[in-house]
Chains A and B, each alone.
Chain A
Amino acid sequence: MRLAIPDKWQLILLAALGLVLGCVPSPLRAAEAEARVLMLYGLDPYIPTFLAMDQALREDLARNGTKRTQVFAEALDSQRFPLDTLEPDLAALLATKYRALQIDVVVAVSRTALDFYQRHGAQLWPGSRLVYVGFLGYEFKPAALPEGASSVLSILDVAGTIDIARKMQPDARRIVVVSGSSEIDTRTQQQARDAFEERPAKVPVDYIAGATLAEILARLAKEPSSSIVIYLTQFRDREGTPYEPFEVLRAVIAGSPAPVYGAAEPFVGLGIVAGSVSSYESKGRLIGEQVRRAIAGQQPDASHRMLQAPNRCVADSRALRRWSLDKKRLPEDCEIRFEEVPVWRQYWQEIFVTLGVVAAQAALIVALIYQRRRRVMAERAEQAQRAELAHVGRLAVAGELTGAIAHEINQPLGAILSNADAGDLLLDSGTDQRDKLRAILADIRRDDLRASEVIRRLRELLGKHHFEQETFDLNQVVAELEAIIRAEAKRRGVRLEFKREPDALPVIGDRIQVQQVLLNLVLNAMDAVQDQSDDRREVSVATTKSKRRAVLAVRDRGPGIPPQNLPLVFDSFFSTKTEGMGLGLSISRTIVEAHGGRLSVDKTGSEGTTFRAELPLANHKAGLQSSPT
């Protein structure tokens, strides 16, 4: 019993206040090269307070230590595993573990650890120096420390906490002090009474001491929200029921209409408004200093026998808000925790950088999209322009072809008229000539269709039209224009020869534009032989297959292109003809290249010139799939 309560108390205080000076024994001596420190925890070493303290200690050693220091840790955890039964085994285990290991400093955290050290330290860690981390007052007197030991102690600053509470709520009508009835509880309560004696309250102070939890809550429920509640400690009520001070505090905070204050650091996170507490970080640093001194072989001063961790004001911004308290009333140096600093203030750099990156990315994306859009628009505009130019080109071609076109239309029209006249005459003759009449009508129908077909093709060729993608047979394109080309050749007295690749030549692209290329090349060829002697007035049009390309070759037997003109033939507005615009070949090349092909002068000389348009052959299957789009 005697042990249990102090241990428990100690645990809570240590954990709660983070007062326990870093339990960090710094390893010393051992091999000359490195110092060894053993942290000997009497309780659970993973209590957050201890962890923070431990961290602060290690940081201190790393930053300020003159020697490389290794930190070991052992936990007695006497709260959960009673030492009564385990101590011999534990001691034996530790003896085995540390037999060959020289420990320079042992940091005993909590009274249990101190007691254990006093019983076994000399055997387990001979020659080690002791730094005690504990709580001033209730269970420890500095005189109990062995020679050469130092201690880092916390105090429960009840008076300071009461001062803060009064400052926060100057208009409070009542002050309620809650504590238990254990010995420690009584002492803390006494501290409160002392504080009020020193600075008397102008308002009534109620002490709820040793009440059961239910009674406490019932009492507090009646408190107006303007009251001040000071929670000290409650390990036990007057009926002897043990408590964890935490669980009492939690209930008090949940049930109290009035703001609650407390003096232990861990209370801050649980919902108290504020308190004067000692910081575990500063404790860690104090322990570090003592450990370093011990490693360095310096004897502790008198003051080091009992070093006190500083207390300071810590407040909880959530609790301030809960009870609508003005944080401006807090002491100036008060640390406000859990402040929900707007993220943008807390992480402004990260946010700034992130936003910057996001903005940069967004800008990049926008720029890319914009660029792409512009490119697409430019492509579209270019395509439209090309289509327009191609159209102008076709109109020009049509101008040259009017004779041939007239012929192609007049021929069937003439036949129709003559057939009709013949039919008329047959009817006039009065004899039954039905078979002849029927044949005449059939011919009329056929010629009519033929004429309209010519017109349809012309409309197709001459109409404005947008670039279209379809799969077509190059041979077919040539065949469709053969009649017109022949008519023109006849008109000009030019012999014409067609040679066709027997296989289909599937090409993807715009049929009309390819027809235009054909017409341009053929008309150019006819122009070239215009002034030639009869035997050379000859033009040939051939389609062939070459590797993966469909080839359209137009050959004339003209005088050839003079070498100085050769680089210019595909330029816009270059023409050697008096009436030419100089656009035909330039447009043709543009068209062929837009189809992924190539238009070139294959050969030229006194024997004539061959123009060669190559278009990529469509993979037949692919062609069928992506047919007219």
Chain B
Amino acid sequence: MSTAPLIHVVDDDASMRNALLRLLDAAGFDARGYASAGEFLLHPLPDRVGCLLLDLRLPGPSGLELQSALQEQGIELPVVFLSGHGSVESGVKAMKDGAVDFLTKPVKRELLLDAIGRALDLCLAQRSSRTQAMQLQARFASLTDRQRDIFDRIVAGRLNKQIADDLGIAERTVKREREQLMLKLDAKSAAELGRLAEMRARTKTP
């Protein structure tokens, strides 16, 4: 059962929250309810596919504030906003900050489930790219310092001879290290190495 996505519902209105939980449950999701941003943050976030169904106005920190707090902490959990009285500004801000959708109550089931579906897709995508990045990171971690220097120069477009000159080692040694390096990174060509470098650079910066 743990395979079912987990939807976090944050709404201070108990009646609304219960209705949403009931609907999500009937739609085949696992759903958990929280009355405030604080309550949500107090609960450990299980490592599962899921999303956050967030009311805009909450007692204490608002939905928008929770959204940015999660981003700051690097917690990637797609957010669908569900507001009783959404204003244009808050909607724009939410979307800019990466919300999947901005819905208003009362919300049609199709719209809600569609938004949740997209959020879960996003979650899955995020999770897989995160997995890739982690694998990549692990592969890079297995490189020796020399191999890392050689990799950087290959990616920069240097030839073996030039690398050997740069590093003050024999060209033959460069060739050997290069073969080992490509094995470790599971790359078959220099072009593939370039792509890996790009991916690494992207996942590293944030």
Whether B107 lies near A414 (C-beta < 8 A) is yes
B137 → chain A closest CB, angstroms: 39
The CA-CA distance from A490 to B16 in the complex, in Å, is: 16
Whether A493 lies near B84 (C-beta < 8 A) is no
Whether B106 lies near A414 (C-beta < 8 A) is yes
The verdict on B62 contacting chain A, using a C-beta distance below 8 Å, is yes
> In chain B, residues 2-52, which have Cβ atoms closer than 8 Å to a Cβ of chain A?
12-13, 15-16, 18-20, 22-23, 25-27
- Report the contact-size class of chain B (Cβ under 8 Å from the partner): 20 to 34
Consensus secondary structure, chain A interface: helix
> In chain A, residues 392-413, which have Cβ atoms closer than 8 Å to a Cβ of chain B?
403-404, 406-407, 410-413
Whether B57 lies near A422 (C-beta < 8 A) is no
Whether B16 lies near A411 (C-beta < 8 A) is yes
Whether B109 lies near A414 (C-beta < 8 A) is no
Whether B26 lies near A417 (C-beta < 8 A) is no
CB-nearest residue of chain A relative to B16?
A415
Whether A416 lies near B22 (C-beta < 8 A) is no
The CA-CA distance from A440 to B26 in the complex, in Å, is: 12
The CA-CA distance from A422 to B25 in the complex, in Å, is: 8
The CA-CA distance from A426 to B27 in the complex, in Å, is: 8
- Report the contact-size class of chain A (Cβ under 8 Å from the partner): 20 to 34
Whether B85 lies near A410 (C-beta < 8 A) is yes
The verdict on A33 contacting chain B, using a C-beta distance below 8 Å, is no
Whether B85 lies near A403 (C-beta < 8 A) is yes
The verdict on A453 contacting chain B, using a C-beta distance below 8 Å, is no
The CA-CA distance from A415 to B104 in the complex, in Å, is: 12
CB-nearest residue of chain B relative to A490?
B57
The CA-CA distance from A414 to B59 in the complex, in Å, is: 19
The verdict on A603 contacting chain B, using a C-beta distance below 8 Å, is no
The verdict on B188 contacting chain A, using a C-beta distance below 8 Å, is no
Partner of A426, one of B15, B26, B82, B87: B26
Whether A415 lies near B18 (C-beta < 8 A) is yes
The CA-CA distance from A401 to B85 in the complex, in Å, is: 11
Partner of A418, one of B16, B58, B84: B16
Candidate in B12, B19, B25, B62 with the most chain A CB atoms within 10 angstroms:
B19
The CA-CA distance from A418 to B84 in the complex, in Å, is: 13
The verdict on A501 contacting chain B, using a C-beta distance below 8 Å, is no
Which chain B positions have C-beta within 8 A of A422? Answer: 19, 22-23, 25-26
CB-nearest residue of chain B relative to A402?
B85
The CA-CA distance from A491 to B62 in the complex, in Å, is: 9
Whether B57 lies near A419 (C-beta < 8 A) is no
Whether A417 lies near B22 (C-beta < 8 A) is no
The verdict on A436 contacting chain B, using a C-beta distance below 8 Å, is yes
Which chain B positions have C-beta within 8 A of A419? Answer: 19, 22-23
Whether B105 lies near A414 (C-beta < 8 A) is yes
The verdict on B108 contacting chain A, using a C-beta distance below 8 Å, is yes
Partner of A425, one of B16, B20, B23, B58: B23
A151 → chain B closest CB, angstroms: 125
Known contacts A419-B23, A422-B22, A422-B23, A411 near B13 by CB under 8 Å: yes
- Chain B window 101-140, contacts with chain A (Cβ cutoff 8 Å), 1 for yes, 0 for no: 0001111110010000000000000000000000000000
Known contacts A410-B106, A416-B106, A425-B27, A491 near B19 by CB under 8 Å: no
Which chain A positions have C-beta within 8 A of B20? Answer: 418
Which chain B positions have C-beta within 8 A of A440? Answer: 19, 22
Known contacts A407-B57, A493-B62, A413 near B106 by CB under 8 Å: yes
B56 → chain A closest CB, angstroms: 9
Which chain A positions have C-beta within 8 A of B23? Answer: 418-419, 421-422, 425
Cβ-closest 4 pairs across A and B: A414-B105, A425-B26, A418-B19, A414-B106
Q: A411-B84, A415-B106, A424-B109 are in contact. List 9 more A-B contacts (CB 8 A).
A: A410-B85, A411-B16, A414-B16, A414-B82, A418-B16, A418-B22, A424-B26, A491-B57, A493-B62
- Interface of B toward A, CB cutoff 8 Å: 12-13, 15-16, 18-20, 22-23, 25-27, 57-59, 62, 82, 84-85, 87, 104-109, 112
Q: What are 14 inter-chain pairs, A to B, with CB distance below 8 A? A: A411-B84, A415-B106, A416-B106, A417-B108, A419-B23, A422-B22, A422-B23, A425-B27, A440-B19, A440-B22, A450-B15, A491-B85, A493-B57, A493-B62
